Amino acid sequence: MGGGHIPSALSILDIVWALYDKVLQAEDRFILSKGHGCLALYAVLEKKGIISPGQSYGKKDSILGGHPDRNKVPGVLASTGSLGHGLPMAVGMALAKKIKGESGRVYCLVGDGECNEGSIWESCLLAAHHKLDNLFVIADYNHSTDRAVNLELLTEKFSSFGFSAACVSGHSHLDIYNALDYRPARPVAVVAVTVKGFGCARMALPEWHHRHPNEAELAEILQELS
């Protein structure tokens, strides 16, 4: 395929699985704002029978591109990839549910690097202002942005914007379930501490951010993941 953000996908795989396995209900909505982690989403959608198995990835006629396309991939509500776009859409969905009196929650998964975008914090201000207690933001805190801007106390940042915020292990399904079962009267932020390239030590290195393995490396990686 020649591309794909594999470490980013491994970082969020446990979070996406936890959402689709135990959390999301029929009336809920989910947006993967950090669209470059879409390999994790594709894997879970296939496992849950939402997309058919055996789809090719990143090829000319494939529905599965390097960023999720709502017009091609069943179960994808928003085409994302330009960082900072998914959360504004999620806030709009949550607000629309409130206005219409609809049940259900809106979940949005953002990246820590994405939290450098001003649109993330503008969306948080709007969500807090409207008391969107049906909005849950999950931040994948894999520290990939530390070399550029160290966000440090990310939980406190969300709290300062009016969210009920908690910090959990992003690789513990139980921690994720418990954090998302909380029902305060305001929007919720769950800062999920993760490891980039989780399960594959070499993929924690920055050089693997958008690199794909050769045949020998792939065999070694599959052995390590197994």
Tell me the average pLDDT across 3-32.
95
Render pLDDT for 167-204 as a digit per residue (tens, 0 to 9). Answer: 999 999 999 999 999 889 999 999 999 999 999 989 88
Contacts of 216 (CB under 8 A, 6+ apart): none
* Listed range (92-96, 107-111, 148-152, 180-184) with the worst mean pLDDT: 148-152
Whole-angstrom distance, CA of residue 45 vs CA of residue 24: 13
Q: Residue 52 — pLDDT band, cuts 50, 70, 90?
A: very high
Is the predicted pLDDT of residue 1 greater than 60, yes or no?
Answer: no
Residue 175 per-residue DSSP state = H
Question: What is residue 16's predicted lDDT score, i.e. its pLDDT?
Answer: 98
Whole-angstrom distance, CA of residue 19 vs CA of residue 13: 10
Q: Tokens 């939290």 map to which residue?
A: 115
Residue 64 per-residue DSSP state = B
The two three-digit tokens of residue 4, written as one number: 């794909």
Is the predicted pLDDT of residue 101 greater than 90, yes or no?
Answer: yes
Q: Which residue type sits at 83?
A: L
Q: Residue 119 — pLDDT band, cuts 50, 70, 90?
A: very high
Is the predicted pLDDT of residue 77 greater than 80, yes or no?
Answer: yes
Average pLDDT, the chain: 94
Q: Are 7 and 162 within 8 A, CB to CB?
A: no
Tell me the average pLDDT across 6-33.
97
Render pLDDT for 144-153 as a digit per residue (tens, 0 to 9). Answer: 888 888 888 8
Query: Which helix or strand (DSSP H or E) is residue 159 part of?
Result: helix 154-160
CB atoms within 10 A of CB 57: 15
Whole-angstrom distance, CA of residue 49 vs CA of residue 44: 9
* Domains identified in the chain and CATH numbers: 6-225 (3.40.50.970)
Tell me the average pLDDT across 84-113.
97
Q: Are 161 and 155 within 8 A, CB to CB?
A: no
Is the predicted pLDDT of residue 40 greater than 90, yes or no?
Answer: yes
Q: Residue 2 — pLDDT band, cuts 50, 70, 90?
A: low
* Percent share of the chain, pLDDT over 70: 99
Question: What is residue 80's predicted lDDT score, i.e. its pLDDT?
Answer: 96
By C-alpha distance, which of 16, 185, 30 is closest to 104? 30
Tell me the average pLDDT across 69-93.
96
In degrees, rounded to 5, the angle at the alpha carbon of residue 27 between the alpha carbons of residues 134 and 83 is 60
Query: Which helix or strand (DSSP H or E) is residue 39 part of?
Result: helix 38-47
Q: Which residue has the higher pLDDT, 78 or 182?
A: 78
